[in-house]
């Protein structure tokens, strides 16, 4: 076997060991001792400096960006903002869960007990209840799952509306508000819907919805008025160092007045 000159030269390099100061460092006087034919002497470290945990807490490089707690919105202040987000939202993602026993041939059996989220038209036509209004179609997946006993959740965000208002993308969409309303779907009778003028309220936001208004014989699909009865609300106001993140008090959610949410502004509003 032939060894290259490079490999032989590498064998004659001084012995390297890890030192406390960094990576490999030559032993003291290695060159002199090697030249004299003496084995290099190892210096024993008597104190485990490298293994000792630091007792000094290092400050976070972002500590100067974190707002004091008293400057962040409180839970109730965030609840009012959440009610404004709901009032100004026209669409949301409605999530339901397929039943355990899927009987329809149109639905794959392996989606049983699986959640599915689909965009829906919404409106706040029962102010100041905090329960959003939905025009549900009897053939829709969300309606069928709800009738089979599924609870529902409605996800809203301020992401698209921020771009619409400001005409530019946010520095970070993660720092904009969003929430999830958790509850169940409840049918609103035609008599109650007429008394509260829900059809007029809903079509003001969604003009095309006249094509499937409940009770109309010429409607493209059979529809019914429903409300999401809100039982819980989860809120992400933005980055946690300057916004409230967590569950709202349901009683506070339903107690917010129209005047309250009209008096606050969401990011990008003037």
Tokens (6 digits) for 73: 């919105």
pLDDT of residue 59: 53
Q: Has residue 254 got a pLDDT over 70?
A: yes
In angstroms, the CA 232 to CA 178 distance is 14
Q: Does domain 73-262 have CATH number 2.30.110.10?
A: yes
CB atoms within 10 A of CB 181: 26
* Predicted local distance difference test score (pLDDT) of residue 151: 98
pLDDT of residue 94: 99
Average pLDDT over residues 126-139: 97
3-state secondary structure 30-94: HHHHHHCCCCCCCCCCCCCCCCCCCCCCCCCCCHHHCCCHHHCCCHHHHHHHHHHHHHHCCEEEE
Q: What is the pLDDT of residue 58?
A: 57
Q: Three-class SS of residue 229?
A: strand
Q: What is the pLDDT of residue 49?
A: 37
Per-domain residue ranges of the chain: 1-58, 73-262
The tens digit of pLDDT for each residue in 30-77 reads 444 444 445 444 444 444 333 444 555 555 554 444 455 557 999 999
Q: Which residue has the higher pLDDT, 198 or 218?
A: 198
**pLDDT tens per residue across span 135-167:** 999 999 999 999 999 999 999 999 999 999 999
**pLDDT value at position 217?**
83
| pLDDT band per the 50, 70, 90 thresholds, residue 8 | very low
HSE, side-chain direction, 13 A CA sphere, residue 76: 6
Q: Find all residues with CB under 8 Å of 162, minimum gap 6, and list them.
A: 170, 173, 176, 266, 267, 268
Residue 125 pLDDT exceeds 70: yes
**Model pLDDT for residues 219-253, shown as the tens digit of each residue:** 888 999 999 999 999 999 999 999 999 999 999 99
Please choose, from the candidates 257, 229, 267, the residue with its C-alpha nearest in 3D space to the C-alpha of residue 76.
257
Distance (Å) of CA 210 to CA 135, 136, 201:
10, 13, 12
The predicted structure's pLDDT at residue 21: 42
Residue 235 has phi, psi (to 5 degrees) of: -125, 135
- Mean pLDDT, the chain, rounded, equals 83
CA 130, CA 140: separation in Å to the nearest integer?
Answer: 24
Q: What percent of the chain has pLDDT over 70?
A: 74
Contact 131, 227 (CB under 8 A): yes
Q: Please state whether the predicted TM-score (pTM) of the whole model is above 0.85.
A: no
Check residue 43 and give its pLDDT.
42
């Amino acid at each position: 076997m032939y060894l290259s000159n490079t490999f032989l030269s590498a064998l004659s390099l001084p012995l390297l060991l890890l030192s406390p100061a960094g990576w490999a460092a030559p032993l003291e006087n290695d060159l002199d001792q090697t030249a004299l034919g003496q084995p290099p002497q190892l210096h024993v470290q008597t104190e485990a400096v490298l293994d000792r945990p630091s007792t000094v807490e290092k400050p976070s490089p972002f500590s100067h960006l974190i707002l004091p707690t008293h400057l962040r919105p409180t839970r109730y202040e965030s609840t009012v903002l959440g009610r404004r987000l709901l009032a100004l939202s026209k669409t949301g993602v409605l999530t339901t869960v397929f039943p355990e026993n899927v009987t329809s041939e149109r639905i794959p059996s392996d989606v049983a007990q699986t959640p599915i989220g689909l965009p829906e038209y919404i409106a706040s036509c029962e102010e100041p209840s905090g329960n959003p209004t939905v025009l549900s179609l009897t053939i829709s997946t969300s309606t069928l799952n709800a009738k089979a006993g599924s609870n529902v959740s409605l996800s809203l965000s301020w992401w698209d509306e921020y771009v619409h208002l400001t005409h530019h993308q946010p520095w970070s969409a993660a720092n904009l508000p969003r929430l999830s309303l958790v509850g169940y779907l409840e049918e609103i009778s035609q008599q109650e819907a007429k008394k509260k003028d829900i059809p007029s309220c809903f079509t003001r936001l969604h003009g095309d919805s006249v094509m499937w208004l409940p009770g109309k014989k010429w409607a493209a699909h059979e529809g019914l008025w429903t409300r999401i009865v809100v039982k819980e609300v989860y809120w992400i106001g933005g980055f946690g160092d300057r916004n409230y993140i967590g569950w709202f008090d349901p009683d506070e959610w339903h107690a917010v007045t129209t005047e309250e949410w009209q008096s606050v502004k969401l990011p990008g509003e003037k």
